């Protein structure tokens, strides 16, 4: 099982700040989600080479969890702190939820609007830094305004973790969550639990985790990205430690 931490060197098939991530009929997703890193899943499972999913950082929430204020737009694939996508044949990320799941610029809060602007601007600055230096640096709201170089990923592969994202909100109905001892993971303590997440009985595997603030002004302590190959489902949740 591939398991790497603090990934500071890009692997083949990894593309930071990718373009053309969303299907043409869902172009509005670019208003709500920042594409961080396209990952060829062959890096984790050779038989999946050519399937490239994109790690996404939501611009919202300003506070709380994504989706918690838009429950009327939840469905079997989306819920509070959970969003899912289908990886299309041409490696676009098709959202399996409703557009109303995101609040976006319609939020009636000056601080939230300032947060949205800050997220977009810090992402653009990080992109420009990468183009100039070939490395990732974030412009944290807690810093001095200067770029701080970061790892592209905190974790690549390994077991599905059991951070507080597992308990923050109920998993959407299309998926099931269970636990088992992580006996097959040499990186885990003997008594550690491992999360098992399935869709129609088929297991997801861990793709990557990274803090949103590795790339942007702020964000989740861990963006958790999972994949189920048969349905080509990319599932995200967010850890707020």
- How much is the mean pLDDT over the chain? 93
Look at residue 139 in the predicted model and tell me its pLDDT. 95
Closest CA to 237 of 53, 58, 81, 51: 81
CA–CA separation, 92 and 77 (whole Å): 17
Closest CA to 152 of 12, 14, 60: 14
pLDDT digits (tens, 9 = 90+) for 26-50: 999 999 999 999 999 999 999 999 9
CB atoms within 10 A of CB 205: 18
Q: Is the pLDDT of residue 184 over 70?
A: no
233: β partners: 86, 228
221: containing domain = 3-239
Average pLDDT over residues 52-72: 95
Split into its structural domains, the chain has a count of 1
Look at residue 1 in the predicted model and tell me its pLDDT. 62
Q: Is the pLDDT of residue 196 over 50?
A: yes
Q: Is the pLDDT of residue 107 over 90?
A: no
Q: Is the pLDDT of residue 143 over 90?
A: no
Q: What are phi and psi of 171, to 5 degrees?
A: -70, 145
CB atoms within 10 A of CB 46: 8
pLDDT digits (tens, 9 = 90+) for 202-241: 999 999 999 999 999 999 999 999 999 999 999 999 999 8
Unique residue bearing structure tokens 């992109």: 127
Q: How many residues does this entry show for the chain?
A: 241
């Amino acid at each position: 099982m591939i398991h790497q931490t603090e990934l500071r060197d890009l692997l083949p098939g990894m593309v930071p700040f990718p373009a053309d991530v969303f299907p043409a009929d869902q172009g509005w997703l670019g208003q709500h989600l920042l594409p961080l890193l396209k990952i060829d899943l062959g890096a984790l499972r050779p038989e999946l080479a050519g399937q490239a999913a994109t790690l996404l950082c939501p611009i919202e929430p300003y506070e709380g969890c994504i989706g918690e204020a838009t429950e009327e737009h939840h469905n079997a694939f989306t819920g509070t702190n959970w969003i899912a996508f289908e990886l299309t044949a041409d490696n676009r990320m098709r959202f399996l939820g409703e557009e109303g799941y995101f609040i976006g610029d319609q939020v009636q809060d000056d601080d939230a609007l300032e947060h949205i602007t800050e997220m977009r601007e810090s992402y653009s600055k990080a992109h420009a830094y990468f183009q100039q230096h070939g490395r990732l640096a974030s412009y944290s709201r807690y810093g001095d305004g200067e770029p701080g170089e970061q790892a592209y990923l905190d974790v690549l592969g390994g077991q599905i973790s059991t951070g507080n994202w597992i308990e923050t909100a109920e998993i959407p109905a299309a998926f099931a969550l269970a636990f088992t001892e992580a006996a097959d993971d040499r990186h885990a303590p003997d008594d550690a639990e491992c999360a098992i997440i399935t869709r129609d009985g088929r297991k997801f595997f861990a793709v990557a985790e990274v803090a949103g603030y590795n790339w942007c002004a702020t964000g989740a302590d861990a963006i958790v990205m999972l994949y189920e190959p048969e349905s080509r489902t990319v599932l995200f949740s967010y850890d707020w430690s």
